[in-house]
Amino acid sequence: MSDDIEKLLAEVSQSTQPTAKPSKAPAKRGKGEVAKQGSDKPGGRFAFAVITAVVFGAIAFIVGWLFTPFVLTGTSMGVGAALGSFATALLAGPPRWFSS
């Protein structure tokens, strides 16, 4: 029985392996192809960190200015949120949708 299984596995592996060997030469790119990862496209950790710092800093400034009308509360909340979100985004990195 085990001989039959081994023969069957050998036939399956033989039929699923490609017959032609892939070439080692790089494929030519056409005009309409999308840039590969790591090439000259926007995105990355620093850009994501700057964008999140600006967005969250502005939101915290507005919330601090509207809801806590004490001296420099909006400014300190905005700066704190911007620094915190910048550090967090720089360490965590961008999500997949940002870099694609």
Q: What Å distances lie between residue 91 and 86, 88, 96, CA to CA?
A: 9, 5, 15
Provide the percentage of residues in the chain whose pLDDT is more than 70.
72
Give domain limits for the chain.
Answer: 47-100
Q: Name the E strands within 11-99.
A: none
* Average pLDDT score over residue span 44-59: 92
pLDDT in tens, 86-97: 999 999 988 888
Q: Given pLDDT bands bounded at 50, 70 and 90, which one contains residue 22?
A: low
Q: Which residue has the tokens 């700057």?
A: 50
Q: Which residue has the higher pLDDT, 23 or 48?
A: 48
Q: Given pLDDT bands bounded at 50, 70 and 90, which one contains residue 57?
A: very high
3-state secondary structure of 19: coil
